[in-house]
Amino acid sequence: MDLNLAVLIDGDNIPSAYVKEMMEEIAKYGNPTIKRIYGDWTNPRLGKWKNILLENAITPIQQYGYTQGKNATDSAMIIDAMDILYSGKVNGFCIVSSDSDFTRLATRLREAGMQVFGIGEKKTPNPFIVACDKFIYIEILKNKQEDDTAEDTKSKTGAKNSVDRITAKDIKLITSTIDDVADDDGWAFLGDVGSLLQKKQPNFDSRNYGFQKLTPLISSIDQIEVERREDNKGRKKLIYVKIKDTRPSRSKK
């Protein structure tokens, strides 16, 4: 069943550059029936949002900053989220912010049976990330043309690639997850591995490492063996993975 999602955006805390890509990403997980963005629209700094909101049918919610140094936008988003929760009109939320102040809100929504997606920059504090069912970094939502342009620029200037390198810690997470769902022969269905990875680490995403899908990411890891099998009807390929046995074979005496 497709989720009906309430998308609540912290306009004070999220760049406007990739809103189109962000809405396309959200559409993968459900139908965004409520789309609101919060901020002080009298502030000239938010003026660049105007055309973007019209193009994506996002409703701006005015929230004045009553006191300097205090973020009234957060409070308005939290109050609206609870109103929406009790209205019964949605069964999921997408909170777009890099602010840890929404950690308790995400936790409360999940306690109420809601599925919670978070979207924010890579600077987002970990408590908010792990409070969501899935967390997506906004930096990976650039379209392919922009990525290609950036790569060309980096190659010419010698700049460091912004894609994360897979670390020993990441590999350990993946291999331990395979071991958790593997059968007696050590093989695990990749779909089950992906689901458990998401539960263990909500911000795990193959795109963080430069891969569009989980299969090529797994295939790039030397310690893991990949096997494609036909289903019972022979209509599609199922991907199974296994941790390679690196122990030296014993020679017979």
Given this model, what pLDDT does residue 231 score? Answer: 76
> Is residue 147 domain-resident?
no
CATH code at position 136: 3.40.50.1010
Given this model, what pLDDT does residue 97 score? Answer: 93
Is the pLDDT score of 158 beyond 60? Answer: no
Query: 3-class SS at 202?
Result: coil
The single residue listed with the structure tokens 């009553």 is 66
Number of domains in the chain: 2
Is 71 found in the same domain as 175? Answer: no
Is 96 found in the same domain as 213? Answer: no
Question: d(Cα 159, Cα 147) in Å, to the nearest integer?
Answer: 14
> Is residue 251 domain-resident?
no
| 1: confidence class by pLDDT, cuts 50, 70, 90 | low
183-193 per-position pLDDT tens digit: 999 999 999 99
Query: 3-class SS at 135?
Result: strand
Range of the domain at 50: 3-141
Q: Which long-range contacts (CB under 8 A, 24 or more apart) does 80-83 make?
A: 80/8, 80/36, 80/38, 81/6, 81/8, 81/105, 81/109, 82/108
For the segment 93-108, the average pLDDT, to the nearest whole number, is 94
Q: What is the mean pLDDT of the chain?
A: 84
Tally helices (H) and strands (E) across the chain: 9, 9
Q: What percent of the chain has pLDDT over 90?
A: 59
Q: Is 161 or 165 the better-scoring residue by pLDDT?
A: 165
> Is residue 57 domain-resident?
yes
213-236 per-position pLDDT tens digit: 999 999 999 999 999 988 777 667
Cβ neighbours for 68, distance < 8 A, ≥ 6 positions apart: none
